[in-house]
Amino acid sequence: MTLLTIQEASKWAAALLKQDISPSNISYLVQYGRVRKYQLNGTTKVALKDLQKYYESFHGQREVDWKKVLGDDLNWALSFDHLHEKDTTKNVHRLHPYKGKFIPQLVEYFLDEHTDDFKKKAYFRKNDIVLDPFLGSGTTLVQAHELGMHGIGIDISQFNCVIAECKIQSYDLQTLEKAIQDMKEYLNRAEVDSHLQEFEEELISLLSAINAKYFPHPSFKYKVHRREIAEDTYARAREKECLPLYHALQKKYNIRLQSQKGTTFLDTWYVDTIRREIQETFEYIKKQSAPEIKKILAVILSRTARSCRATTHSDLATLKEPQLDIYYCYKHKKICKPLFSMRKMFERYADDTLARLQRFSALRTPALYSIIAGDSRTVDIAEAAQKTPPLAFLLQKEKIRGIFSSPPYVGQIDYHEQHAYAYDLFGFPRRDESEIGSLRKGQGKQARELYIDGITAVLHNCKRYLAEDYDVFLVANDKWNLYPRIAEKTSMQIVQRFKRPVLNRTERDRNPYSETIFHLKEKV
């Protein structure tokens, strides 16, 4: 059996795939049990045969398998499966989590006239105006700005607009760095419950021993991946054994985990100590004088608050019920615990945010942008753009070149509720009733008809501002075949469909899944 060091394995894989495969990529495969770890004389090694099997199945075979399920019309080039996570979450694109966003490379493919695909027509050019009527977290506007294109984004959610604005906003980075440092020092000066510290230290020691005994890393993950262990049965039995030890520790240190009785999201979904930390931190942020500093610190706090909710790591995207006990974690394949303080998480996200904004500052262009919190069905885009006078002046001379957007899907996501903690904390007005295709409206016939009416109204409103030979690109999973009707009702025609696989989904459901990019133009 041929064994390779991590460095040797990365070189071998890079040569095989003809792309950059770093030692950290190989370490990831070991860490998550994709290949077996061998320890020889203090050096970690992997078997060449394991690597060959992994890359054969992961790359070439995955395309074959997915096409068997989803059809041969699947455009694998738009899977971007050669990219690493650091590429699909580059610079400001991971400034804040957002469920349902597309990767920046998809936007680049259709917006960038210098794409490597020589067969693709250039739909947009530098200095064009691009519109996204379903702004979300701002991916389209960020990429348009990077490519030197002016952008207008509209969203019904005020919090979404704040996230997008913080991504594109120009900062005095030295001032921001000092504000972040002051913020971290403030958190470290805050009073700490000594009993809680002692409780957590003993709990961490206990879990370390439990996980070393029952869930040894990385061999346990490797066995789970190869289905040598019945994960559910084994894990639940170990979890049941450990819970009495956890409850005994709580009693020993007299730890109260449940927040005070209340009806707010913060009361329900946060350990009491974290809830108090969040509220105290927000009071500090409100005292900041510079609006752009206040907003970005609030976004860092929101990102931190999202990760500190009392839930399992696997259920962060879709909350099920508060998790105040230790539990078996399907993401990390071990017993995990709730968080009892947000300090370390805030520091990590604050540093990460600063680094991402610094990287994006080097990519900034003179392109203009305007972000509008409003209903895309009715908003007067020209009037709303007045808050960015140079862009408003430009709109008087030329029209918007086209649209690149991902409308909400029918009955899949509650876009306000996914950030309920932020609305609760910051006091933003919620406009849930105005969401198109929200989860609470379901997927029945009436919901689908309302969806068609909603998207149609948005396109009718936007068309008033579009250039004569516009190009509209809408990303959707149209399992109900609604977009041909939407095109008909808006006097548009679907001129192309690009069906792409959606890889690296956050949910535990890993079944093959696709979405379609509909290219629409005026009907002739």
What SS3 state is found at 323?
coil
- Beta-bridge partner residues of 328: 335
449/323 same-domain check: no
208/349 same-domain check: yes
Rounded CA separation 242/238 (Å) = 6
pLDDT score at 510: 60
* Token couple for 72: 């041969």
Rounded CA separation 505/79 (Å) = 12
pLDDT score at 16: 84
pLDDT score at 147: 96
Give the residue from 70, 90, 124 where a domain finishes: 70
> 137, exposed or middle or buried, with CB in 10 Å at 0-12, 13-18, 19+?
buried
472/376 same-domain check: yes
369/500 same-domain check: yes
481/465 same-domain check: yes
384/465 same-domain check: yes
Judge contact between 80 and 110, C-beta under 8 A. no
Which structural domain range is residue 426 located in?
76-169+364-522
Give the residue from 357, 387, 408 where a domain finishes: 357
Residue that is written with structure tokens 């696989």 in the block: 501
What amino acid is encoded at 201 in this protein? E
> 262, exposed or middle or buried, with CB in 10 Å at 0-12, 13-18, 19+?
exposed
pLDDT score at 294: 96
Domains: count for the chain: 3
Task: Give DSSP secondary structure letters for 184-200.
Answer: HHHHHHS---HHHHHHH
151/104 same-domain check: yes
Locate all alpha helices (DSSP H) within 215-324, ordered by sequence: 219-225, 231-253, 265-269, 272-285, 291-307
333/407 same-domain check: no
Question: Residue 118 CA to chain centroid, in angstroms?
Answer: 30
57/139 same-domain check: no
- Phi, psi at 152, each rounded to 5°: -125, 125
Rounded CA separation 54/67 (Å) = 19
pLDDT score at 118: 47
Judge contact between 346 and 180, C-beta under 8 A. no
- Could you tell me the pTM of the whole model? 0.87
CATH number at residue 378: 3.40.50.150
326/385 same-domain check: no
pLDDT score at 258: 72
* Token couple for 100: 């349902």
488/456 same-domain check: yes
Residue ranges of the chain whose pLDDT lies below 50: 118, 506-508
pLDDT score at 402: 98
153/209 same-domain check: no
Give the residue from 341, 357, 373 where a domain finishes: 357
Residues 6 or more apart whose CB falls under 8 angstroms from that of 152 comprise 129, 130, 131, 132, 141, 369, 370, 371, 372, 381, 385, 391, 400
CA dihedral 251, 252, 254, 256 (to 10 degrees): -50
- Angle formed at CA 54 by CA 49 and CA 58, multiple of 5 degrees: 155
| Structure confidence by residue, pLDDT tens digits, 67-79 | 888 988 888 888 8
